[in-house]
Structure 1
Amino acid sequence: MPIAARAKTVRNMLTALAAAAATAAALTACDAQSGPSLEPGADSRQVTVVGAGQVQGTPDTLTVNASMEFVGPDATAAMNQTNERQQAVIDGLVELGIDRKDIATTAADLQPQYNSDSTSITAYRATNSVNVTLRDLGRASDAIGLIVATGGNATRINSISYSIEDDSQLVRDARARAFEDAKDRAAQYAELSGLNLGKVISISESGGPTPPVPMQAPRAMEAAVPLEPGQQTVGFSVTVIWELT
């Protein structure tokens, strides 16, 4: 075969192969475009709402933080007096029926006290603090009265707070109310827009166990201390996204 004819045949073969490759690539691209898309369609409809739910419960636990504080001429004297008085308080609470596991030391502090121009130490201030958890609220008044009577002028009632020891059912109820509130809102929006409420797409919540409610400790406390637990609120907020159909 002449060289010119052979070259023409090779060129024709290469052209055919290139055309076949281009056709295969185009078919592949079409298949990819016809498959499911990861992006939401232009006609997708959603509604996002925030629902809230609250329930109330009666506190069943009282926590008292009490300190014994003495000022002495030296560190040893101040610390010894403080420790002895706090130990007497702890022993008295145990005799009253408070479990030792419900009495926890939270601070033991010793600080020098300076003269007016802060040039020399004149005394030492020692502080010993405990948290007392009272699970029988009927004993709360007697327990606080005992702390004050035993500690005398060294007593410092730093805080009193009520709490609910097991609020798991209250949390469940508050969560259910929050979801129902969100669903009612979403259903109303669907009705207003002439659509139907579809499946839930996502749920996120905020809220949780109820923190203890602090009470201001009175300046002067007698043996019988009036105490009322009142009510505590457990609240939840939930954000839900629904599909609209």
Structure 2
Amino acid sequence: MTRKLSALALGAALMASTALAATAASAQSVQQTPVSSTIQMIQTQPSLNLAASGEVRVAPDMATVTFGVVTEAPTAQAAMAQNAERMNAVSAALRRAGVAERDIQTSGLNLQAQYDYQENQPPKLRGYQASDRVTVRVMDLTKTGATVDAVVAAGVNQIDGVAFGLKDPSAAENEARRLAVKALQAKAQLYAEALGVQLGGIRSLNEGGGYTPQPPMPMYAMRAGAMAADSTPVSGGELSVKIDVTGVYDIDR
């Protein structure tokens, strides 16, 4: 009886071991089964990325003149006093010429010691130089030459330059914008025709450029007391106002 029970127990153990092995093999088979995946490519709509410009040339209607008074004296106090006296006379001359106070701006004030140099000798103080720079806007372009003559007669002995500009550049900028967009549209249409495709709508539009005030240009060398009998001739010429645009157009196939 005892032998029979032992044989039964051994058979049960073998069956349990076989079942566990089959379960483990099945689990391993499940883990090793590859997972399928799908990658989708996103195709963007073709487009044209183009640039164009619009330029308008207009006559200036104002001028900016930069000038100065330079004085020298044995002492710093004397140099500054002489400079202030001349600048007061220049300010009075500007008012008589019709220049408004808001159009006069001090753009530089300087005081420097002046030395004489000789070989093998230490520098020797000669005195002091005071300079005062003023920037003036002349809102009536026809009075630019007369204004220059007036300040020279009042004591100005240096003229740095004159620049021409626009009081309100918005009209010229808007016209340049219209020309730039028109040129951009024409270029886009030309490319579409050359490619044999249909031009779609514009996706984006960016702007650059615009009116930039002109930097002062050297006018002429002016010596103290030098003045022509007639008003100094000043010609404004033309100014360029340019707008740059870039745009992205869709292409319909």
Give the TM-score, by structure 1 length: 0.82
Once the two structures are overlaid, the 10-residue window that deviates more, 142-151 or 89-98, is: 89-98
Note the residue ranges of structure 1 that are not aligned, 5 or more in a row.
none
Report the equivalent of 2:244. Answer: 237
Once the two structures are overlaid, the 10-residue window that deviates more, 82-91 or 208-217, is: 208-217
Once the two structures are overlaid, the 10-residue window that deviates more, 219-228 or 80-89, is: 219-228
In 2: Cα distance, 1:114 partner to 1:232 partner: 44
In 1: Cα distance, 2:215 partner to 2:82 partner: 32
Report the equivalent of 2:154. Answer: 150
User: Is 2:20 the partner of 1:7?
Assistant: yes
Give the TM-score, by structure 2 length: 0.80
Q: How many residues align?
A: 231
In 2: Cα distance, 1:74 partner to 1:167 partner: 47
8 Å contact from structure 1 (residues 163, 213) kept in 2: no
In 2: Cα distance, 1:213 partner to 1:174 partner: 21
User: Is 2:123 the partner of 1:119?
Assistant: yes
Report the equivalent of 1:77. Answer: 78
Within 5 Å, give how 1:156-195 maps onto structure 2: 156-195=158-197
Q: Which amino acid aligns with 2:16?
A: I
8 Å contact from structure 2 (residues 50, 188) kept in 1: yes
User: Is 2:135 the partner of 1:131?
Assistant: yes
8 Å contact from structure 2 (residues 65, 216) kept in 1: no
What is the deviation of 1:163?
0.6
What is the deviation of 1:215?
3.9
Question: After superposition, what is the alpha-carbon deviation per residue over 1:103-134, rounded to whole angstroms, capped at 9, x for unaligned?
Answer: 11111111222213261111221111111111
In 1: Cα distance, 2:250 partner to 2:234 partner: 51
Question: After superposition, what is the alpha-carbon deviation per residue over 1:161-211, rounded to whole angstroms, capped at 9, x for unaligned?
Answer: 111121122112212211221221221121112111123244343312232
Identity, in percent, stands at 26
What is the deviation of 1:16?
7.2
Q: Which amino acid aligns with 1:236?
A: I
In 2: Cα distance, 1:232 partner to 1:209 partner: 9
In 1: Cα distance, 2:215 partner to 2:130 partner: 29
8 Å contact from structure 1 (residues 210, 233) kept in 2: no
Q: SS of 2:149's equivalent?
A: helix
In 2: Cα distance, 1:15 partner to 1:75 partner: 99
CA RMSD across the alignment: 2.5
User: Runs (4+) of structure 1 moved beyond 6 Å?
Assistant: none
8 Å contact from structure 1 (residues 75, 124) kept in 2: yes
8 Å contact from structure 2 (residues 64, 216) kept in 1: no
